[in-house]
Amino acid sequence: MTPKRLTFEFVREFEDIYSLGGGHITAALCSCSPPILFDPGVSAFGPLYLRELARRVSNTDNLILALSHTHFDHCGAAAYLKRKIPSAQIVTSQRGADILKRPNAVELIRKLNAEYEQEMADELAGEDVTFTALEATLKLSDGNAIRLNGGRICIAYETPGHTRDSLTYFFPDTGIAFVGDAAGGLDLGFIHSPYLVSFADYLASIDKIQSLNPRAICIPHNGILIGDDVPRYLNEAKAAAIEYKDIIVRYLDMYRGDQEKVVERITAEEYDAVTEHIQKRQPFILNLRAKVAAVAAWLENRKKGEIDGNE
Ligand SMILES: [Fe+2]
């Protein structure tokens, strides 16, 4: 069964928020005071972010670098920007703050970013954009606010499922939300559903974003959605997550719980059978493995619940 292709009208700019590109350029900039740069992704784009900041905000003192989660493609340029703007503040969750200091996690983030640095070596012209360990200035839990000048606030909501450390940032005055990868992303007409740690949490997080009634949502790999596209996208993201879960459940059943066989089957159907790819094959498989494990765990929990419920 082939899911239907979806179309959404992503915009680059909405009121005081500006998406720097989509695709591998995940960052969005809010021109509040101090300015907030959300998800300064892959390190190789660090100089581009710096140029955009110079162009779009008059004062970068105390610039806030707010991370939705600590995947390499969402935080990679934070170290470079912190070196260039020493007063910059790193904002993340408690879990995220721990990851940014853990040597093996830092090494992995550095290594994954280095691949892009090599590909863009000509453009970088020797500029050192290397990722290094970072100390968080502010660690946010569910409902905590970033306090801005003029009494404005930006509230962080924990929206796990994609990762354990995922945060959604929401401006209650403008109704704009930066959701990270908490509600997936649109890729070639399909919403992909990256519930890498928990399927149930992923669905609950989309509900949580919906309950904020955002006027606009910023999806790092795509851009900004406004108006009716917001609830339509969130509903479609949930439907896509459920549909994908059903496929995994069916294959888990077919292969008697052998997760690796399910991964092989879906990779052959979804990846190897098509020619156009945004993601490389290895990360596709790693993510798929995590999703299959998340659905297997969800099935296990549901079984336990049914047994407990019968007692
Ligand atoms: Fe991610």
If one counts every other C-beta atom within 10 angstroms of the C-beta of residue 79, the result is 26
Cα(112)–Cα(76) distance, integer angstroms? 9
150 CA distance to ligand 1 middle (Å): 32
Q: Residue 3 pLDDT more than 70?
A: no
Q: Which residues pair with 14 in a beta bridge?
A: 17
pLDDT tens digit string along 183-201?
A: 999 988 999 999 999 999 9
CA distance 182 to 39: 13
Using the predicted structure, report yes or no on whether residue 311 has a pLDDT greater than 50. Answer: no
What pLDDT is recorded for position 2? Answer: 58
How close is the Cα of 105 to the center of ligand 1, in Å? 14
Predicted confidence (pLDDT) per residue in 243-289, tens digit: 999 999 999 999 999 999 999 999 999 999 988 777 778 888 999 99
Q: What is the 3-state secondary structure (H, E, C) of 115-177?
A: HHHHHCHHHHCCCCCCCCCCCCCEEECCCCEEECHHHCEEEEEECCCCCCCCEEEEECCCCEE
165 CA to middle of ligand 1, Å?
A: 10
Q: How far is the CA of 295 from the centre of ligand 1 (A)?
A: 18
**Helix orientation angle between 229-254 and 281-310, rounded to the nearest 10 degrees:** 80
**What was the pLDDT predicted at 306?**
76
In this predicted structure, what is the pLDDT of residue 161? 98
Q: How far is the CA of 110 from the centre of ligand 1 (A)?
A: 15
What is the per-residue pLDDT for 280?
78
113-162, pLDDT tens digit by residue?
999 999 999 999 999 999 999 999 999 999 999 999 999 999 999 999 99
Following DSSP, what letter does each residue of the chain receive, concatenated?
-PPPP-----BSEETTEEE--BTTB--EEE-SSS-EEE---SGGGHHHHHHHHHHH-S--TT-EEE-S---HHHHTTHHHHHHHSTT-EEEEEHHHHHHTT-HHHHHHHHHHHHHHHHHTHHHHTT----------SEEE-TT-EEE-GGG-EEEEEE--SS-TT-EEEEETTTTEEE-TTTT-EEETTEEE---SS-HHHHHHHHHHHHHT--SEEEETTTEEEETTHHHHHHHHHHHHHHHHHHHHHHHHHHTTT-HHHHHHHHIIIIIIT-S--SS-HHHHHHHHHHHHHHHHHHHHHHHHHHHHHH-
**pLDDT, tens digit, for every residue of 29-47?**
999 999 999 999 999 999 9
Section 69-76 average pLDDT: 96
Closest to 270 measured CA to CA, from 150, 188, 156 = 188
Handedness of CA 7, 1, 219, 264 (dihedral sign): negative
Residue 167 has pLDDT above 70, yes or no: yes
Residue 309 confidence (pLDDT) = 62
In the predicted model, is pLDDT for residue 308 greater than 80? no
List residues, by chain if needed, whose CB lies under 5 Å from ion ligand 1.
71, 181
Q: Cβ atoms within 10 A of the Cβ of 220, count?
A: 28
Of 105, 34, 32, 26, the closest CA to residue 68 belongs to 26
Report which residue type is found at 113: N
* Mean predicted lDDT score pLDDT of the chain: 95
- Distance in Å, CA 304 to ligand 1 centroid: 29
What confidence tens digit (pLDDT) does each residue in 224-235 have? 999 999 999 999
Ligand 1 centroid to 199 CA: how many Å? 15
Q: How confident is the model at residue 20 (pLDDT cuts 50, 70, 90)?
A: very high
Q: How far is the CA of 309 from the centre of ligand 1 (A)?
A: 35
Statement: residue 310 has pLDDT above 60: no
- Within a 10 A sphere around the Cβ of 255, how many other Cβ atoms? 15
- pTM of the model as a whole: 0.95
